[in-house]
Chains A and B, each alone.
Chain A
Amino acid sequence: MALDKAFTEIPGTTVFDAEQSRKGYWLNQFCMSLMKAENRARFKADERLYLDEWKMSEEQKQAVLARDLNRCIELGGNIYFLAKIGATDGKSFQQMAGSMTGMTEHEYRDMMIKGGRKIEGNRRIGEDGDAQRPRKDA
Chain B
Amino acid sequence: MARITASLYTSHIPAVGAAFDLGKTREDYWKPVFAGYDFDKQWMKTHKPDVIVAVYNDHATAFSLAMIPTFAIMTGPEFNPADEGYGARPVPTVMGDPELASHIASDVIQQDFDLTMVNEIDVDHGLTVPLSCVFGEVKAWPCRIIPFAVNVVQHPVPSGARCLALGRAIGRAIMSYPEDINVHIWGTGGMSHQLQGPRAGLINKEWDNKFLDRLIDDPEGLSKTPNIEYVREAGSESIELVMWLVARGAMADVVAGGAKPKVAHRFYHVPASNTAVGHLILENAS
Contact = CB atoms under 8 A, between A and B. Distances in A.
A102 B198 contact: yes
B228 interface: yes
A104 B68 CA distance: 35
Contact of A73 (B64, B154, B197, B205): B197
A39 to B, nearest CB: 11
Interface in B225-256: 226, 228, 231-233, 236-237
A105 to B, nearest CB: 12
B84 A18 contact: no
Of B15, B83, B86, B201, most A-chain CB atoms within 10 Å? B201
B86 A87 contact: yes
Contact of B197 (A17, A100, A118, A119): A100
Contacts of B203: 112, 115-117
B195 A96 contact: yes
Interface residues of B, number: 44
A112 B274 contact: yes
Contact of B156 (A3, A83, A84): A3
B232 A35 contact: no
A23 to B, nearest CB: 11
B75 interface: no
Contacts of B153: 16, 78, 80
B264 to A, nearest CB: 27
B243 to A, nearest CB: 15
Given A32-B60, A94-B15, A112-B271, A14 B231 contact: no
Contact of A116 (B18, B29, B154, B192): B192
- The DSSP consensus for interface residues of chain A is helix
Contacts of B15: 92-94
B276 A116 contact: yes
Interface residues of A, number: 59
Contacts, number: 163
Interface in A10-60: 10-18, 21, 25, 28-29, 31-32, 34-35, 40
A14 to B, nearest CB: 6
B232 A123 contact: yes
A32 B274 contact: no
Contacts of B161: none
Of A29, A101, A108, A119, most B-chain CB atoms within 10 Å? A119
A66 interface: no
A60 B226 CA distance: 33
Nearest to A132: B198
A34 B85 contact: yes
A58 to B, nearest CB: 21
A32 B199 contact: no
20 contacts: A3-B155, A4-B226, A10-B231, A13-B236, A16-B154, A17-B154, A18-B155, A31-B60, A79-B196, A80-B59, A93-B195, A94-B274, A98-B201, A100-B198, A111-B201, A112-B274, A115-B205, A119-B202, A122-B199, A124-B232
Interface of B: 14-15, 18, 29, 59-61, 64-66, 83-86, 153-156, 192, 194-205, 207, 226, 228, 231-233, 236-237, 270-271, 273-274, 276
